[in-house]
DNA sequence: ATACTCCTTATAGCGCACTCTAAAGCAAGT
DNA sequence: ACTTGCTTTAGAGTGCGCTATAAGGAGTAT
């Protein structure tokens, strides 16, 4: 008794537009999505978690080309688990670096705000 | 005895290309940059700190349109200090939010890595 | 039958932030 | 005098990640 979800449903659930959902499928970020008798896309629960993970990769600034690599590995099955792990570990390091750099820049922005506060007090 | 720096020097110092330096000036992110007798750009130390702060804003994903707003305020002088402070405070909140979201996504990526590690061990 | 609504595909267009090219000027070196 | 090497400008082109359009098909409502 699996729920069958339309592209509209998925758009509402994931926050991606229907355009983007088709685009992601076309370029190979998503695959194995069923079609009904009319040729309409039908999404499973597993598809949703797949999409949500793609969104997490994207939101941590993984380029689409690399998300595609990851998706291609997944499509190839269990033999690629180690490769997928390694790909994610590289990305993990990038995200940590990104956060550190954001933190450093945030400090500088804070300093500038404090500088302006002092200037404003003097006036 | 101020050092006078060429666009090449600034490119080397800031990591921006000479293209980007001219582009930033054209669109109003940078202003008040001197010219020598030949019409060549000559950068001051203050220009450098200005450029470096622009880079920090850019690297924290402030859109160029907003960096321009900030630069325009600066050009208007001391009367805009409070406005500049407020603009940066809004951005500060965005950066904090960004870091939080990165952290949340990082946790999910870590979970996936651990999942793959377990799968790999079983095999 | 006709209109409406949802979907499909292929392909074109957009916004952002650069990045490069073309044409020209000036100064030093050979 | 001429080449090299730096600069200038205006404007064209690039890459990414969507976003929109056009043309058409199937199912439901009137």
Q: What is the pLDDT of residues B14-62, one digit of tens each?
A: 999 999 999 999 999 999 999 999 999 999 999 999 999 999 999 999 9
Residue B78: pLDDT over 70:
yes
pLDDT-based confidence at residue B1 (cuts at 50, 70, 90): very low
Average of per-residue pLDDT across B101-118: 98
Average of per-residue pLDDT across B78-99: 98
Report which of A54, A49, A1, A45 is spatially closest to residue A25, judged by C-alpha positions: A54
Report which of B37, B2, B33 is spatially closest to residue B18, judged by C-alpha positions: B33
Q: What pLDDT score was predicted for residue B4?
A: 85
CB < 8 Å to B107, chain A: none
The runs of H, that is alpha helices, within chain B are 7-14, 18-26, 45-59, 64-75, 81-122
Q: What pLDDT score was predicted for residue A2?
A: 61
Q: What pLDDT score was predicted for residue B2?
A: 62
Nearest nucleotide (CA of A29 to C1'):
D17
Task: Determine the distance between A65 (CA) and D6 (C1') in angstroms.
Answer: 38
123 residues of chain A, pLDDT tens digit each:
467 899 999 999 999 999 999 999 999 999 999 999 999 999 999 999 999 999 999 999 999 999 999 999 999 999 999 999 999 999 999 999 999 999 999 999 999 999 999 999 886
Task: Determine the distance between B1 (CA) and C6 (C1') in angstroms.
Answer: 73
Q: What pLDDT score was predicted for residue B5?
A: 96
B89–A contact, CB cutoff 8 A: yes
- CA separation for the pair B69, A88 (Å, rounded): 38
Q: What percent of chain B has pLDDT over 90?
A: 93
B98–A contact, CB cutoff 8 A: yes
Q: Are A24 and A30 in contact (CB under 8 A)?
A: yes
| Residue owning tokens 């729920």 | A3
A49–B contact, CB cutoff 8 A: no
Q: Does domain A7-122 have CATH number 3.90.550.10?
A: no
Using alpha carbons, list the distances in angstroms from residue B50 to A65, B14, B33, B67.
35, 11, 11, 11
């Amino acid at each position: 008794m699996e729920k069958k979800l339309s592209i509209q449903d998925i758009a509402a659930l994931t926050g991606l537009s229907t355009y983007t959902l088709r685009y992601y499928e076309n370029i190979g970020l998503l695959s194995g999505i069923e079609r009904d008798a009319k040729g309409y896309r039908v999404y499973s629960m597993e598809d949703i978690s797949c999409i949500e993970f793609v969104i997490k990769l994207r939101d941590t600034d993984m380029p689409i080309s690399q998300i595609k690599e990851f998706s291609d590995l997944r499509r190839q099955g269990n033999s690629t688990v180690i490769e997928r792990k390694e790909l994610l570990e590289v990305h993990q390091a990038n995200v940590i670096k990104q956060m550190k750099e954001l933190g450093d820049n945030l400090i500088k922005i804070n300093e500038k705000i404090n500088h302006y506060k002092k200037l404003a007090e003097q006036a």
